[in-house]
Structure formats: structure tokens, C-alpha cells
Structure 1
């Protein structure tokens, strides 16, 4: 089973920069998007009709938004955290037979950290939500989590220690999420790989020199570890200031992991 996640930073613009070619090439079972920046009816996707489409639009035009295209029909679909709605369109949860898939676009603390308190409260609620799901079935989480967790996850750690996305508070929330029973799948396979980034500033030559941050993730319930086949970063794919990330799962082992009992018992 192949899953793809991509912060497209405006889907209409990304479609004009090769999105459909990449989508067709990947032939994914599930393809998740963040920062679609769309309202209902503003785009018609020219993709294989075998995909179900689920969209969560932000109330504010041209802002945030998430989407999931899946060839496997979900049992249930939920939009948001505590309620089946949230104004910024940041979360979609699909329930399948053996696991939950959550795609998320985590709020940015902003350059001046004016939204840091909101961000930290949101992180608490998000972790609680994932733990509630994980108590029922294993969870796969993907998306732009807007944090470089460790110094290895960005090019210039020393110069960014007080900047949005690398503050001690944001990094601590990520640590607490992983400690709650989740794996960073890329680091599961490649714990020491350097220069592995998913986002680059639009400043001149930054991407060319690979001065980036790894802020897009596939996380998975720890008990899914035996079903993980590979996690990778498609850094060569353009079309957004983020690149796509990919997770491959062994479906047979996924079923076994899902039936093996709850980690919290």
C-alpha cells in the first residue's frame, strides 16, 4: 500500500506545475494534500475516477485547506478535531477497516510567534485526539506538522533556535506526541540521514543549495512498525515550496499489526 502526502501551497498553482503528472506516476492508494487554498467548486481534478475525493475547505478564501484522494473507500470520514467541522480546514480523518488515516496542516506560530500560544494549545488537543483514535485502531498521520523536530531536521539549527517551527516549545510538543506511542517513519528507517528536507524558503538559490527544513511527516502508531516497508522524501519534485513524501506499507502485516492488540493495554 502506497501513501503520498504533499503540501501543495495552492493546488491550482501546483496543477499548473506538473501535479497531475506526478499524481498519475505515483499511482498511490491514498494521496493527501495540505494547503490547498481552495473553496468548493474552484477546481475540477482530472484524476482517475477510481479515487474517492474528500475536501476540507477553510472558511477564509485562499487559505489552508486539506484533501484526500483514496482508492479504498473509508468506513467513516471526519473533518476537524472535537467537532465535525473546524474553520481553517486543517484536518481530515478517514477510518478504514484496519487503521485510521489523518491528514493535517498544523497551524504556524507565525514569524513573530504571535500565534505560538494558539499553536501549543492546538498541539495538546491534537495529541489527545490521536490518542483517542489509537485506543481504537492504529493511526497513520501525515502532513505538514510545521516543526523541524531535531537539529538534524534543518540546515541551520543554530541560527533558528528562536524561530517559528524550531522553538523549544514546538519541538517539545513533537517529542511528546512521539512519546505517546507514535513513530516518525522517516527516522525509523533513516535515523542519521542528513540533508533530508521537505520545505525550502523561496529566497533565491535556497532550494538549489538544499538549505531546507524537514517539516512534513508520516507518523504511525508504534505497533505498525512491522508493517512499514519504506518512507522517503521526493525532494526532486517541484511545484510547491514543499516536496511530496511517501510511505509504503505491507498490507498483510498491517492487518496482523492491527489485530495484535492495543499498545495502551
Structure 2
């Protein structure tokens, strides 16, 4: 089976805008359509509470014909058109959507951050982990989210194997970002966030990219938009992951980044694994 995950940074902008950035996003969407993936996970949809419009669905079907769509948007009291997740999976596959509330702090459970589907032989979890924010003002809440998420994923793993993907907003090790020395107090690379990810893996999950590639360096999934040369200089972070239950790690065939060309921000990631749906 083939899985793709991508933080799109606004489905509406990617699908309907005519800006230069949107055109780059549309080229990425065309590329992803060529992979014929079984499941496609999208984060940071930024859709309204009522979800994708008919126009959005029609445009998505143009890139990905023959898919069912599940979505989860930010709803009150959380911010409007904020965060959000979506999963597209091939027609012919059957899945039951899990209703998930972690008991997370603040409005995190209302921000559309965790979309879980129950397939016959595995669970699929698409996550957009909360960012600790400027000045790490949300770090304490983020730590609670990490613990609750790990508990929940472990509970799923107790029933059947799990494939979890998304933007985890953490570079786990120093080799997962270009400039570790200057970022130890930056959101996404604090000791607390890294420890949270270590504890998640210790609950029985494998970072598929490291399983396949070992300690390879200089391969990232995100380059900041504020610095125009960040991607040209490969000054990036690896914060997007496919995790799998330890007991199916030997079935991993491929785990890699998908080249998004000159588009900065997140690049899509891909997992191939021998797994029946």
C-alpha cells in the first residue's frame, strides 16, 4: 500500500487561488495524483467549520479521482478556519471514522487536529500536532497533548497495527534539522518536545524514515517561508513523519520525501508498506 501525507497550508488557497504560491501548490497536487496512493492525508486545511465546499470537492476530485473524503475542521470555541485535517482514501476501501477527543488543554480538541480511520487490518491516524508557538507560550499545553496523543495511539495499537502520519511539529534529533545549535529553545526543538516524541516511539512505534535510511543527514520536510533562501540553502527541519507499529516495521518498503520543487514550507512524504487494507 502507498500512503502520502502533506501539510498543505490551506486547501482553499492551494485549490482556488491564482497566486504564484498557489500555482506551485497545484503543481505539487498534480504530482501527488500521479502516485495513485491508497490513502492521502492532509494537514492544516484551514477550512471553515462546515468543511470543504462543493467547489473544493470538485477540484480535489480533479486531482484525485476515485477517492472518498473524510475531514475534520476547527469548530467553536476554537479559531475559525484554523488547523484542520483531511483524509482521502480509494473507493473500494472501507473505513469507520473514530470520534476522538483526547481531553487536551485549551481548544486543542476543537481544532480539527486528529482524524482517525479504522480500516479492516489497521488504524490510520492523521495528526497536526499543536505548535508551541512564539515564546513557547503553548509549550506546557503541547506537552499535555503529546502525552494524551501517545496514550491514545497506544490504545489503538493494543487492538490492531497503527499507521500514524502528519505534521508532528518536532525535529526529533539533531540530525533532523540543519542548525540544531541555535534552535534548542525554538518551538519544535525544545528538550521537552523531543522527549515527548521519544516517549511516543517507546510506546511501540517506529519512525519509518529512520528505519529505512538510518542516520542519513540533510534530508528535511519543511523549510521556513520567512527566509526566502531556506530551501535553496537546505536550511530545513524534518518535522513530518510516518510512524508504524513496531510489529509491522519489517513490512516497510519505502519512506521518503516527495520533491515539491521550489515551493517552500512543507513537502509531502511517502510511505510504502506491505499491508492489506
Same structural fold, with TM-score higher than 0.5 when normalized by the shorter chain: yes
Q: Which runs of 5+ in 1 are unaligned?
A: 256-265
Q: Residue 66 of structure 1: which of 66, 73, 85 is its match?
A: 85
The yes-or-no answer on 1:80 pairing with 2:100 is yes
Render the CA deviation track for 1:123-175: whole Å, top value 9, x for unaligned: 11100000100000000000000000000000000000011100000000000
CA contact (8 A) 1:103 1:142 kept: yes
Q: Distance in 1 between matches of 2:259 and 2:72?
A: 26
Structure 1 position 237, deviation (Å): 4.1
Q: Structure 1 length as normaliser, TM-score? A: 0.90
Q: Which residue of 2 aligns with 1:244?
A: 268
Q: Which residue of 2 aligns with 1:36?
A: 45
The yes-or-no answer on 1:182 pairing with 2:205 is yes
Q: Distance in 2 between matches of 1:237 and 1:55?
A: 27
Render the CA deviation track for 1:99-138: whole Å, top value 9, x for unaligned: 1000000000002110001000011110000010000000
Count of residue pairs brought into register by the alignment: 252
Q: Structure 1 residues 7-16 or 196-205, which shifts more?
A: 7-16
CA contact (8 A) 2:207 2:241 kept: yes
Q: Cα distance 1:30–1:237, how it changes in 2: closer, same or farther (>3 A)?
A: farther
3-state DSSP of counterpart to 2:69: strand
Q: Residue 23 of structure 1: which of 27, 32, 37 is its match?
A: 32
Q: Distance in 2 between matches of 1:201 and 1:41?
A: 27
The yes-or-no answer on 1:57 pairing with 2:73 is yes
Q: Structure 1 residues 19-28 or 110-119, which shifts more?
A: 19-28
Q: Structure 1 residues 148-157 or 22-31, which shifts more?
A: 22-31
CA contact (8 A) 1:79 1:91 kept: no
Q: Which residue of 2 aligns with 1:124?
A: 147
Q: Structure 2 length as normaliser, TM-score? A: 0.86
Extract structure 1 runs of 4+ deviating beyond 6 A: none
The yes-or-no answer on 1:160 pairing with 2:173 is no
Q: Which runs of 5+ in 2 are unaligned?
A: 16-21
Q: Greater share of helix residues, 1 or 2? A: 2
Render the CA deviation track for 1:60-112: whole Å, top value 9, x for unaligned: 223100000001533310243348x9310001111111110000000000021
3-state DSSP of counterpart to 1:213: coil
Q: Cα distance 1:239–1:13, how it changes in 2: closer, same or farther (>3 A)?
A: farther
